[in-house]
Amino acid sequence: MTDNSAIAQYIAKLERRGRLPDDDREKLLRIPGVVKEHAAGDVIIANNVPSEHCVVVQSGFVSRVRTLHRGARQIVAFHLPGDAVDLQNLLFTRTDHQIQAHAPTRTFWIAHKDLWSLTDQCQVLAKALWLDTLVDASIFREWTANIGQRRAPARIAHLFLELAARFAAIGMVRNRTFSCPLTQTAFSEALGLSLVHFNKSLQTLKRAGFISTKHSITIEKPDDLVAMSGFDPTYLHLDASRVVDLVEAADA
Amino acid sequence: MTDNSAIAQYIAKLERRGRLPDDDREKLLRIPGVVKEHAAGDVIIANNVPSEHCVVVQSGFVSRVRTLHRGARQIVAFHLPGDAVDLQNLLFTRTDHQIQAHAPTRTFWIAHKDLWSLTDQCQVLAKALWLDTLVDASIFREWTANIGQRRAPARIAHLFLELAARFAAIGMVRNRTFSCPLTQTAFSEALGLSLVHFNKSLQTLKRAGFISTKHSITIEKPDDLVAMSGFDPTYLHLDASRVVDLVEAADA
DNA sequence: CGGGTGCTTGATCTCTATCAACTGGTGTGG
DNA sequence: CCACACCAGTTGATAGAGATCAAGCACCCG
C-alpha cells in the first residue's frame, strides 16, 4: 500500500471547514495513487502539458508559476503539505502554468479519472472539493488586491502573515516562527517586486522590529504587521466559519 | 413568468465549453428567480453581508471590488451579460467583496438553496458550474500575473484584449470595436494603476495607433497589441478546447 | 446657468527597477 | 586541500516608472 499520508492531511484540511460523511472520507482515503519525490528546484508538472493527475503535497513546499515574456515569472500560488495543487486543472485538459518544488518535496499523484469517479459517488465530497477550489480563488483575488494596491513593505507583510496563518493551521508554527524554504528571488516573483527591492523592503521590516529571519521567519509584532498590511485571514477560509455546512446543505 | 433570458445566456456560455444533458439544461432554465434593475454606480451586493443568492448578469456591466485600507479599491473581476457573478460565494456564508454596476444593469437572482438542490439532481450541471468557477480562478491568476509583471501600457493592452475576447464571445464586437461603460477610474482600479498614470499610458497606446476610443474601444492593431502584451486567450476558456467533456467524463 | 463627473495636462516627488559589484557560504573537482 | 564556481543575499548608484498634487477643460443634466 502506498503511503497516503498526503491524503490524510488533505482530508484533515477539508474537514477543518466541515465534517465529511464517513463513507466519503473512507473512499477518498483509499483512492489509488503513487508517491513521487522531488528535489528543490524541480519542475513537478510542466506548463502546457496534458493534465491527467491531481497532485497533493505530502511534505515540502511547492509553487505555481506562470511564465510570461522574456522569462518574467509570476508565482501565483504557494502550496503547503496537505494542499491539493492541481485541482485547478481537474477540468482542463492541459496545464496553463507550471508546478515547482522549493524544497525537497514528496507528492501524492491521483489520476483525474479516479478522483472524477469518486465525485460521482460522493456528493458531499464533490462539494468539498469545489469549495476547496473556491477558497483557492478567494486567495487569488486577495493576491491580486495585494499586488495591485499595496506597496512593497505592506505587500511583503501581508504575504508573510498569510504564510504564517497557513503554516499555523497545519501546526508548523512555534513561537510565532515558521520555517519557509523560499529564496528572496521566489518571494519577489510572488509579489511582483524586483529581487533588489524586495531585499531592501524586507530589511526595512526587520529594522522596524516587525519580523526577524534566520533560516526561518518570525513574526515579532503581529499586531503592527496586521495594522500596516490590512491582513484579515477570512479569505483563507481555514476553518468552518463563513462556510456552508455541506452535509446540512445536502439534506436541505 | 419572470424573464429568464439571463439564464439562457448563461447556459449558452456553459455550453460553449461542452453540451449539457437536455434534462439539466431544462431544469436550470426553469430555476426560480427574480429580475432586478440597477443604475450605473449602484452597489448590487455589499461587502460582508450574508450570501444567499447567485446573481447572473442579463444586461449591463458589473465588477467585483475589494476595498482595502483608506478607501483603496481593487476591482478583481468584470462580468458581462451571461456571466454568473456570485457563484464564487455559493459555498461561503458571507460575501468577501462588493458587487457593483458600471452601467444600467439588469440581473437575475437565484436563491443559493435552489441552485444547490439543482446541483444535487444534475451531476453534469454541477460539474459545469464547478468548471465555471475554475475558469474564473484561471482569470484571477492571469490578472495577478498581469498586474505583477507587466508595466502600464502592456497591462492595459492585455485587459483590453481580454475584454475584446469576452465581448466577442457574446457577439458584442463589430469591426474590432466594442462599447464598454467603464470609466478611466474603474480601469485604473482594476489594473492597480493611478488614474493619472492610466490616462497617460492609454494615450501612449492611442498615439501609437494601437487602439482608439470614442465612447467605445477599437482594437486597431490586434497583432501589435498581442505581441506587446503577451496576450493568449487560452486562460479565458471561452470554448471547448482544453476543457474536459463533462458528459463523457460522467460516463467514464 | 451652475455644478457635478469624467477626462486631460503639467509639475513634482516617491517608489521601484535596473545595473553593477561584492560578500559569504557551499559544493565540487583537480 | 585548495581553487574555483555558483548561488543567495547584500549594498550603492542611477534611471525610469508611477503616484500624488493641482488645475483646467468638456460635457451633461437639472
pLDDT in tens, B17-63: 999 999 999 999 999 999 999 999 999 999 999 999 999 999 999 99
Q: Mean per-residue pLDDT for B121-132?
A: 94
Taken in order B16, B162, A44, A171, the sign of the CA dihedral is negative
Taken in order A138, B164, A72, A66, the sign of the CA dihedral is positive
Does the CB of B212 sit below 7 A from strand C?
Answer: no
CA dihedral A3, A5, A140, A153 (to 10 degrees): -110
Position A241, amino acid: S
Quick one: pLDDT at residue B214?
A: 81
Contact B232, B190 (CB under 8 A): no
DSSP string, B161-172: HHHHHHHHHTT-
How far apart CA B112 and CA B110 sit, in angstroms, is 6
Query: What are B101-114's pLDDT values in tens digits?
Result: 999 999 999 999 99
Position B240, amino acid: A
Does the CB of B202 sit below 7 A from strand C?
Answer: yes
* For residue B241, pLDDT beyond 90: no
Judge: B142–A90 Cβ closer than 8 Å, yes or no.
no
Q: How far is CA A237 from the centre of its chain?
A: 12
C-alpha distances in Å from residue A189, one per residue of A45, A141, A200, B75: 18, 17, 15, 22
Interface test with A, best of B79, B85, B92 (most A CBs within 10 A): B92
Quick one: pLDDT at residue B145?
A: 97
* For residue B1, pLDDT beyond 80: no
Residues of chain A with pLDDT under 50: none
Question: Chain A, 117-176: which have a CB under 8 Å from a chain B CB?
Answer: 117, 119-120, 123, 126-127, 130-131, 133-134, 136-138, 140-145, 147-150
Does the CB of A197 sit below 7 A from strand C?
Answer: yes
Does the CB of A194 sit below 7 A from strand D?
Answer: no
Query: What are B66-75's pLDDT values in tens digits?
Result: 999 878 999 9
Contact A163, A178 (CB under 8 A): yes
Pairing of strands A73-79, A98-101: unpaired
Judge: A144–B250 Cβ closer than 8 Å, yes or no.
no
- Which three-class secondary structure state does DSSP give residue B213? strand
With cell 519525490, the residue in question is A37
* For residue B81, pLDDT beyond 80: yes
Contact B133, B88 (CB under 8 A): yes
Beta-carbon contacts of B137 under 8 Å, excluding residues fewer than 6 positions away, are: A88, A133, A136, A137, A140
Q: How far is CA A90 from the centre of its chain?
A: 16
Quick one: pLDDT at residue B65?
A: 96
Contact B239, B17 (CB under 8 A): yes
Judge: B93–A244 Cβ closer than 8 Å, yes or no.
yes
| φ/ψ of residue B188, rounded to 5 | -65, -35
Cell of B232: 493568449
How far apart CA B213 and CA A33 sit, in angstroms, is 54
Helix ranges (H only) for A33-122 are: 112-121
Read off the pTM: 0.95
